[in-house]
Amino acid sequence: MRTEITVPTQMPKGHTKSRAKPQITVRMASPRGFCAGVERAIKTVEETLSIYGAPVYVRHEIVHNAHVVARLSAMGAVFVESIDEAPDDRPIVFSAHGAPQSAHAAAEARNLVKIDATCPLVLKVHTQAKRHVAAGRQVLLIGHANHPEVVGTMGQADDGEILLVQTIEEANTIAVKDERALAYATQTTLSVDDTAGIIAALKKRFPDIAGPAKEDICYATSNRQKAVKTAAPGADLFIVIGSPTSSNSVRLVETAKAAGARDAILVEDADQFDWSILEGVSTIGMSAGASAPEHLVEAFLTALANRRTLDIKTIETAKENVVFNTPLRLAS
């Protein structure tokens, strides 16, 4: 699709029209922005506020985006890192990233109204990990240390039953209990290419290792990375709208660089962008992480249109129609 966006300017009578803004080509990657799991998590907090009133407590940021968190905070959501910070008489919502079993047990021990907004694709990884452990297999989890999704998955079993693998080097050196009783799982928001290398290393070292029938990396992560790979080659600059705490947003920046963009950066919003970077730039690519609202993309394009004449080309590599059901406690 080819679209030109200009911002009309009314000049006072007798003034000459200023020189036209230079043109810039913008390759918009699609799909981008919110995925079904993020939409479900945000809606869960909104519906909990509607049913129970404010305040509603949320364990960890519901999704990794400062704008989303700020909006929900203004509505009455209180974000905490520990169940201990939530009072007895208010609901507690578990974030999209999932939580260890100990956090669920702590909420249940206090009879808190517990509402689980964990992404169903993350819950699938939890279920797989617990099934492998129950079958006597030690699980090697490919992911990033201290990411809440990894903390939640590792917390589905006793210490030592799930081990973290972050690099190919670790895959080649990690000590296991029994090489014949292993399985692997992955954090859902990783780079498809990086994960493939670690999986290959594990399979080479442990030929009997069990794995999921389908990769754990979620459809939305895969789709956004594929779109970026298509839009990035030859771009002078690739811009990803998202928060630095968002793993999938950071991976999109890495994907753009690897795919051939001359440079790629992560930007929270138009206000945080250094517009001087665009000097000498004629083609940019754009995407947004799965937790970034589309209005941030639109605001960036509006700000850009104040400076350049935009020639927008949409690069669509997939259509998404996935919808996840509301958590049972709210549905009932």
279 is catalytic: no
301-330: b or e for each residue (b if 16 or more CB lie within 10 Å)? beebbeebebbbeebebeeeeeebeebeeb
Q: Which run of H or E residues covers position 269?
A: none
Closest CA to 246 of 275, 185, 274, 287: 287
How far apart CA 96 and CA 322 sit, in angstroms, is 16
Query: Mean pLDDT throughout 57-75?
Result: 97
Bridge-based pairing of strands 283-288 and 237-241 is parallel
Q: Is the pLDDT of residue 174 over 90?
A: yes
Q: Which run of H or E residues covers position 82?
A: none
Q: Is the pLDDT of residue 4 over 70?
A: no
- The pTM of this model reads 0.89
pLDDT band, residue 328 (cuts 50/70/90)? confident
pLDDT band, residue 332 (cuts 50/70/90)? low
Q: Is the pLDDT of residue 292 over 80?
A: yes
Query: Mean pLDDT throughout 21-29?
Result: 96
Query: Mean pLDDT throughout 281-305?
Result: 98
pLDDT score for 14: 42
Q: Is the pLDDT of residue 304 over 80?
A: yes
Active-site position among 46, 81, 85, 149: 149
Question: Would you give the end-to-end CA distance of the chain in angstroms?
Answer: 44
Tens of pLDDT, residues 220-235: 999 999 999 999 999 9
pLDDT band, residue 13 (cuts 50/70/90)? very low
pLDDT score for 193: 85
Per-chain mean pLDDT for the chain: 93
Q: Are 201 and 158 in contact (CB under 8 A)?
A: no
Query: Mean pLDDT throughout 296-319?
Result: 97
Query: Mean pLDDT throughout 251-270?
Result: 97
pLDDT band, residue 19 (cuts 50/70/90)? low
DSSP E strands: which ranges in 109-253? 114-116, 138-142, 162-165, 182-186, 237-241
> Around 131, how many Cα atoms within 13 Å sit in the side-chain half-sphere?
11
pLDDT more than 90, % of the chain? 88
Tens of pLDDT, residues 122-162: 999 999 999 999 999 999 999 999 999 999 999 999 999 99
β-sheet with 182-186: strand ranges across: 162-165, 138-142, 182-186
pLDDT band, residue 8 (cuts 50/70/90)? very low
16: number of Cβ within 10 Å: 6
